[in-house]
Structure 1
Amino acid sequence: MRNRPFGRTGRSVAPIGFGAWAIGAAWGKVDDSESVAALHAALDAGLDFIDTADVYGDGHSEQLIARVLKERGGARPFVATKAGRRLPEQTVAGYSAQNLEAWIDRSLRNLDFDVLDLVQLHCPPTDAYYHPEVFERMERLVERGKLRHYGVSVERVEEGLKAIEYPGVASVQIIYNMFRLRPAELFFRQAQRRNVAVIARVPLASGMLSGKFGRDTRFEDSDHRQFNRHGEVFDVGETFSGVPYEVGLAAVEKLRPLVPEGATMAQLALRWILMDEAVTVVIPGARTAAQALGNIAAATLPALSQATLDAVAQVYDQDIRPHVHQRW
């Protein structure tokens, strides 16, 4: 599958990227040697977009990425990070010029970069999108050479629509998967019209759409799929896309017959996302080399049939829509 233009940045990226939350923290025990192997395998296979954040393992994810890129040398991939979730409480006032610069300086040190490729405001409060001064501060940091581009990571479609009204916003990261169809209704078309890159996150609904979970699956206490199942720590939409666990399991069984021969459920879920040209890159997580390579292989699957797309929409309408559609 050909690379896709990354909005107005002048860059293009392969359609499958690497989501680096899982190699930082909040997904149970992390083995750094496996994480490093996963990154190397992905980059060897041609992957050229990595997404991380300053709070993933309190900087550990950024530092692991820096380690791998230093080991490899040569041209580096497009690395996106995020800033804002270090605040003890999410307020508009917290996105001050002083805080933004401090967070960005910390990411520069963690990644060992002279300039950051892309910094995304990390799910700030909805009211922040109605404060132009927040985005003006990001513009000043671009002018000063701390970052090349900036964007946002959003929880809600409303936030994405508001964000792209700002001409400097190069990208929007949003949850989009077979359990989250709403972004495609209006937001995607508006992003295309404004030439804004779209990063699809939580593509496997926290692993639910891998088809590997069951009623008896147990998650470690340090895994957000255990400690945030009801939104105890952050937005519940980040965990299983906000779909109740038992509801998600039942929907997956309805989707399972759609998996193409020789493919996996996860690959079907990733290929489904790429059927919409508004999506620039999808960022599944990977904690092993095998997972990383399996994710990348999804881009080689043939286009899905209209019958398959209709079947996914039917499962969504019948089982998932009441739980998520109007909420995010």
Structure 2
Amino acid sequence: MERRVLGRTGRLVSVVGLGTWQLGADWGDVDEDDARAVLDASVEAGVTFFDTADVYGDGRSEQVIGAYLADNPGHPVTVATKMGRRGPQDPESFTLAAFREWTDRSRRNLRTERLDLVQLHTPPTAVFSRDEVYDALDTLVAEGAIASYGVSVETVDEALTAIARPNVASVQIILNAFRLKPLDAVLPAASDAGVGIIARVPLASGLLSGRYTRETTFAEDDHRTYNRDGSAFDVGETFSGVDYETGVRAAEDFTALVHDTLGETLTPAQAAIAWVWQQPGVSTVIPGARNADQARANAGAGSADVLGPLFASGVREIYDTYLREKIHDRW
């Protein structure tokens, strides 16, 4: 699998990583044996980047990764975690003391003295402009608790604010065939500044896999059921903010585009993942996987040939037809 430098971390990471939200919570139940099988299959397929957070299953995702890497020493895996969602979503709560508490907990969960990369976890917008926040993060680097830091954002404006800071190593943002806005300004700005881009939600919560219909249902504890109105967290995280009916129609056209332009060489999910990492400026894309087969299939998109201009124009046409008017100005 191709590898790229992850911005100012200086680390080489696989262009397809692994998002591990689903190993903690909010996607229905995934037991520990299945979770470890996902990690194992990913590593065997060439994945060298795991993304997690301290709130995924209240630390369960971090703990599973920490135990797995402890049992498999020597794997060249970079682990990025996130912090900031354990306390009140008040900019005043983002202090050095809180950061120390949160990173100490993540270090215990991940069984490491120094965290590879810590990202602020979609905090309130005002946090991205506070000098004291970045001073605190710089202190954690100087103390050796973290090697590098970045941010996970909801909006393009938040991303651009963070990219302007001199020590931000990476920006994590939603980018997929149903969320094109980051292509306009964020990716060029990040590339110019040497900031890595971690692309999340590459399958629009599964819509781009082509497996869902209007009749598909999800478990009660799956965010695709309970967060469709944004009552639990930013609705942009669920189906990329697209209403489900519209998303299914757009996904049907995406599946047809894959078949018409690529034949049977890639599944719709693989094509969606490959399209993301092939965008200039993207360092890695982090699809989730609930089982080993999904993990292997996702990783297989990391060696896909360039999809070509016909596919790219088709993605743009689908976006313009179904989605631009509904979501482009929101995030």
Q: TM-score range by the shorter chain?
A: over 0.9
* 8 Å contact kept, 2:154–2:174: yes
CA distance in 1, matches of 2:301, 2:129: 38
Counterpart contact for 1:182–1:325, Cα < 8 Å: yes
Q: What is the distance in 2 between the residues matched to 1:120 and 1:294? A: 27
Structure 2 counterpart of 1:35: 35
Aligned to 2:225: 226
Per-residue deviation, residues 258-302 of structure 1 (Å, max 9, x unmatched): 222232110010011122120000000011110000001012222
Q: Name the residue aligned to 2:316.
A: 313
Instruction: Give secondary structure in 2 for the equivalent of 1:172.
Output: strand
Q: 1:279 aligns to what?
A: 282
SS of residue paired to 2:58? coil
Q: Quote the residue 2:70 is aligned against.
A: 70
Identity across the alignment (%): 48
Q: CA deviation at 1:76?
A: 4.1
5+ residue gaps, structure 2: none
In structure 2, the residue matched to 1:121 is: 120
Amino acid at match of 1:269: A
Instruction: Supply the AA of the counterpart residue of 1:246.
Output: E
My pick for the range that moved more, 73-82 or 148-157, is 73-82
CA contact under 8 A between 2:8 and 2:167: conserved in structure 1?
Answer: no
What's the RMSD between the two structures over aligned residues?
Answer: 0.9
1:209 aligns with 2:183: no
SS in 1 for 2:82: strand
CA-to-aligned-CA distance 1:49-101 (integer Å, 9 cap, x gap): 000000000000000001111121224410000000111x3111110111111
In the other structure, the counterpart of 1:149 is 148
Which amino acid counterpart does residue 33 of structure 1 have in structure 2? D
Q: Aligned equivalents of 1:214 and 1:133: distance in 2?
A: 47
What's the counterpart of residue 181 of structure 2? 182
Higher helix share: 2
Counterpart residue identity of residue 299, structure 1: G
* 2:110 aligned partner: 111
1:4 match: 4
**Partner of 1:304 in structure 2?**
307
The SS at the match of 2:56 is coil
The answer to which of 29-38 and 163-172 deviates more is 29-38
Aligned counterparts of 1:151 and 1:4: Cα–Cα separation in 2: 17
Counterpart amino acid of residue 270 in structure 2 = Q
Q: Provide the rounded CA distance (Å) in 2 between the counterparts of 1:319 and 1:129.
A: 32
The structure 1 segments of at least 4 consecutive aligned residues displaced by more than 4 Å after TM superposition are: none
* 1:308 shift after superposition: 1.0
In structure 2, C-alpha distance between the alignment counterparts of 1:226 and 1:10, rounded to whole Å: 39
SS at 2:7 equivalent: coil
Superposed displacement of residue 151, structure 1:
0.3
| CA positional deviation for 1:322 | 1.4
Instruction: Give TM-score, length-normalised by structure 2.
Output: 0.97
> Given that residues 8 and 168 in structure 2 are in contact (C-alpha distance below 8 angstroms), is that contact kept between their aligned partners in structure 1?
no
Count of residue pairs brought into register by the alignment:
327
Tell me the secondary structure at the aligned position of residue 58 of structure 1. helix
Q: Distance in 2 between matches of 1:55 and 1:231?
A: 18
Q: Specify the code of the residue in structure 2 equivalent to 1:91.
A: D
**Structure 1 unaligned residues grouped into runs of 5+:** none
CA shift for structure 1 position 196 = 0.2
SS for the counterpart of 1:116 is coil
| Structure 2 counterpart of 1:99 | 98
**SS in structure 2 at match of 1:64:** helix
1:13 has 2:16 as partner: no
Q: Is the 8 A contact 1:69 1:76 kept in 2?
A: no
